[in-house]
A and B are shown apart, each in its own frame.
Chain A
Amino acid sequence: MSNASNTAIAAEPGIVVRVLASRNLVIGLIVTFILIAMALVSFVWTPFSPTALNFAEKLQAPSLRHWFGTDNFGRDVLSMIMVGARNSIAVSIVAVVVGAGIGVPLGAVAAARGGWIDGVVMRMSDLAFAFPALLTAVIITAIFGPGAVNAMIAIGIFNIPVFARVTRGASMGLWKREYVQAARCAGRSDTAITALHILPNINHVLLVQVTIQFALAIVAEAGLSYVGLGAQPPMPSWGKMLNDAQTFIYDAPWLAIFPGLAITFAVLGLNLLGDGLRDILDPKVRRQR
């Protein structure tokens, strides 16, 4: 009969089917793949050197030779964007790893122990949320000096409370479940329960959060380098390219357009990936569809 009844009868469709069924996920995967591919290719090949100066070709509009034009030093914008992808990805990966690496254990402990530990962790994250993130990142980089590594740390610090809250929120309910209580009665340590029962059950939540934070980290890195506190020359970074472009916005608008497109493209891809993952992994969302 109809296909609707078929899906109703069929058991959970296979993971491949579910992935392909989510338009968000497919587009997100493709965009993310292009982003990563761009970064990887830039290690072995870029159309031009992203650092070599060539005043003879400065401020050229996009052409067949320079697809995205050239900047005020005559550098090829496309090459710079390709290498800039490296920087964005690297900063974001570290920022997310720092955030998740510290935030998830904190959240898990808060959920497992409750009481004052929970209180302290949550108040600390309240406090962190009270500071405008960019401002604190600026202060942090002012203390440690600008640069990609410090940008990673500054952004990572702001990921900690996010992951702590998400982990705590998702695992609180699990601790009340019978099987967890049973494991507890059986004398399992909180650490073991967290590893065996809690984390496996919230990993889809965390995975989705990772993609969201990854996207946010790309924006944050761009913001920091835009104000001159991110990766430093000669390493190209998208945010710095935008900042440099600003004085040339009358004469060379392409300098302002392509790096911004790159950021938007990357963030869009990761957001779609996150939405798509949620579509296929989160049972609640799946039921609503």
Chain B
Amino acid sequence: MTQPLLRMADLSVELPIGDTKIDIIANTNLELGRGERLGIVGESGSGKSITALAVMGLLPQKMRVRGELIFDGHDLAKMSEETFCKFRGRRMAMIFQEPMTALNPVKPIGAQIAEGRILHLGETRADAEKRARLLLDKVGLPAPRFNLDLYPHQLSGGQRQRVMIATAIACEPDLLIADEPTTALDVTVQAQILDLLNDLIDDTGMTLMLITHDLGVVSEMTNRIAVMYAGRVVETGRTDDVFARMAHPYARGLFAASPHGAGLMPRPAGAGRPRLTAIPGVVPDPFERPPYCTFADRCGFVRDDCRQSMPALDLLSTNEGIEHRAACLHPCESLVRP
């Protein structure tokens, strides 16, 4: 394997509170090769969005990154804000969850799409807007119905998300981070947006980091997956492998709790629609994380030694050069699906 596009080594994101510091993200190791599509899944509060923001360098002001965060050979964690600005939007781009508020309401969409090209590629406004026109066509918003001088409020949610996508890919970035890109949209629109993203990535060969809690989306869109829980990656591997085994009890619980995942779970013959099983308890507050396996207190398979130490992200298997790892002392052995 060549040098990965993105590598997190022992990456933590810390938040100073008073005299103490807490790790929102703790000791994460993750690699992302060029052209790969990585899905990051987890409950709210698991740290998946923070991970994305850390990569973009857009963490809330008080948060600090510790460890390595190598993007194409550059350590983003040590990069000056000025240099980082040259990466953002140019080499890496991000699509946000809420299309209704992610666009500036007082600027026409054309200007918002063109802004990045003017900034990074030094194009004139006219050239950049010509390009914005092409981009709009590309994301399925053809002229003349969708002119550059439309304002966000004149578009529906799905259309706005298309504008967001056009804005993100305007400078042909290497890495596209999509943070729950369809969550806020109608179900019918969700599929269209995902198809659009799929096609665009196929066309451009961009690397994708897709953050979602929708397992169905992950299974369709990604070839690799990382399951996060309480600021840590608890299981990672090829999407198929992880879906097949769900070695970490949390992964299994997560799957059982989602409609898509539950569909994948084995069920007794003759049983009707599978019941969704909620995971008992809540994700521990970052302040209250135990010094041992953070899932132990909610885990159905918990054993005594789970409360002794923090499990490492151990290698389970390697498939097509991609390692399947899980941070569990007692990973589930049985395959969910053969």
Contact = CB atoms under 8 A, between A and B. Distances in A.
Please determine if A and B sit in direct contact within the complex, based on CB atoms under 8 angstroms apart: yes
A4 B19 CA distance: 11
A8 to B, nearest CB: 9
A5 interface: yes
A128 to B, nearest CB: 33
Interface size range of chain A in the complex? under 10
Contacts of B18: 2-4
A7 to B, nearest CB: 11
Interface size range of chain B in the complex? under 10
Interface string B254-280: 000000000000000000000000000
Nearest to A1: B287
A176 to B, nearest CB: 24
A61 B285 CA distance: 66
Interface string B279-290: 000000101000
B80 interface: no
Contacts of B285: 5
Contacts of B188: none
Nearest to B285: A5
B122 to A, nearest CB: 40
Interface in B15-34: 17-20
A3 B285 CA distance: 15
Interface string B169-185: 00000000000000000
Contacts of A3: 18
Interface in A202-222: none
Interface in A1-54: 1-5
Contacts of B17: 2, 4
A3 to B, nearest CB: 6
A198 to B, nearest CB: 33
Interface string B285-299: 101000000000000
Interface string B152-196: 000000000000000000000000000000000000000000000
A1 B22 CA distance: 11
A4 B17 CA distance: 8
A3 B20 CA distance: 11
A4 to B, nearest CB: 5
A10 to B, nearest CB: 15
Contacts of A2: 17-20, 287
A139 to B, nearest CB: 42
Contacts of A4: 17-18
A1 B20 CA distance: 9
A-B complex: 7 closest residue pairs judged by Cβ atoms: A2-B18, A2-B17, A5-B287, A4-B17, A2-B20, A1-B287, A3-B18
11 contacts: A1-B20, A2-B17, A2-B18, A2-B19, A2-B20, A2-B287, A3-B18, A4-B17, A4-B18, A5-B285, A5-B287
Interface of B: 17-20, 285, 287
Interface of A: 1-5
Given A2-B18, A2-B287, A4-B17, 9 more contacts: A1-B20, A1-B287, A2-B17, A2-B19, A2-B20, A3-B18, A4-B18, A5-B285, A5-B287
